[in-house]
Chain A
């Protein structure tokens, strides 16, 4: 221990860095492929300037799947038609306690970390917090 003081775990310590993102004008099938291929539950949506504009998640796709829209119909949809927005964001230096509270209070499964230009640089998800919980309790 360098400082003799317990470091408070931050979002930066558990988040996924350089997360997979998708363009708002991408086809919805592309989002399904990314989610399934990377085994993730949601991803940031960006505009042409790489600014965060929303999040698309499994939940959004299940909602789409649950509509009466015929199967053939959703092929023409774009990510921006289905995504949730605005995205919930958090500072990379925020504590994991704060991240857990924000997700729990808002009923969401992930928070996006952005830089000064609103470009996504990280994602912290329920799975990341779960990993932290599981590791923290090795000696419980």
Chain B
């Protein structure tokens, strides 16, 4: 399954076909999407499908915790609160390298982009990594 002696790559662990939102998607809609899908963050793409940011639970929580932003909740959209630039990897990035990136930059997910460097094809999350630690324990 894994002929590469240097170890598994991101493509083997990531969640494919991620849910995407646009910069003008309302934050209330994003809260519902995350809650319903049981995920912790979504990539934000422009109308060309190019990655422009990420909105995570933590970004939404920051709004909830900031009185002025919370008062404006119904008028906020992804473009207002998204984190950027986004840390990206490709399907060929070694998992070990991706883990070090997540750890050193203190993020819970990396967006996996196509060869063009801009189109999201997946998300690698802390959840995906912890799952592999269970498998390895067997």
Q: Which residues of A contact B (CB under 8 A)?
A: 29, 32-33, 35-37, 39, 41, 58-59, 61-63, 65-66, 71, 75, 97, 100-101, 103-105, 109, 126-127, 129-131, 133-134, 137, 140
- Give the shortest distance, in Å, between B138 (CB) and chain A (any CB): 9
Are B100 and A66 interface neighbours, CB within 8 A?
A: yes
CA distance A37 to B61 in the complex (A): 25
- Which chain B residue shows the least CB distance to A33? B134
User: Once A and B bind, how many residue pairs between them come within 8 Å at the CB atom?
Assistant: 102
- Give the shortest distance, in Å, between A16 (CB) and chain B (any CB): 14
CA distance A73 to B111 in the complex (A): 29
Contacts of B129 in A (CB 8 A): 58, 61-62, 65
CA distance A2 to B26 in the complex (A): 34
Contacts of B131 in A (CB 8 A): 36
Q: Which residues of B contact A (CB under 8 A)?
A: 28, 31-32, 34-36, 38, 40, 57-58, 60-62, 64-66, 73-74, 99-100, 102-104, 108, 126-127, 129-131, 133-134, 136-137
Contacts of B99 in A (CB 8 A): 62, 65-66
Q: Which of B31, B40, B61, B103 contacts A103 (CB 8 A)?
A: B61
CA distance A41 to B126 in the complex (A): 9
Are A58 and B126 interface neighbours, CB within 8 A?
A: yes
CA distance A125 to B32 in the complex (A): 16
Are B60 and A103 interface neighbours, CB within 8 A?
A: no
- Give the shortest distance, in Å, between B99 (CB) and chain A (any CB): 5
CA distance A63 to B107 in the complex (A): 11
- Give the shortest distance, in Å, between B63 (CB) and chain A (any CB): 8
CA distance A37 to B133 in the complex (A): 12
Are A32 and B58 interface neighbours, CB within 8 A?
A: no
Contacts of B102 in A (CB 8 A): 62, 66
- Give the shortest distance, in Å, between A14 (CB) and chain B (any CB): 12
Are A58 and B108 interface neighbours, CB within 8 A?
A: yes
Contacts of A109 in B (CB 8 A): 57-58
Contacts of B133 in A (CB 8 A): 29, 32, 36, 61, 65
Q: A126-B57, A130-B31 are known contacts. Are A62 and B126 too (CB-CB below 8 A)?
A: yes
- Give the shortest distance, in Å, between B26 (CB) and chain A (any CB): 8
Are A61 and B130 interface neighbours, CB within 8 A?
A: yes
Contacts of A37 in B (CB 8 A): 134
- Give the shortest distance, in Å, between B136 (CB) and chain A (any CB): 6
Are B28 and A140 interface neighbours, CB within 8 A?
A: yes
Q: Which of A35, A66, A126, A140 contacts B58 (CB 8 A)?
A: A126
Are A59 and B61 interface neighbours, CB within 8 A?
A: no
- Give the shortest distance, in Å, between B115 (CB) and chain A (any CB): 26
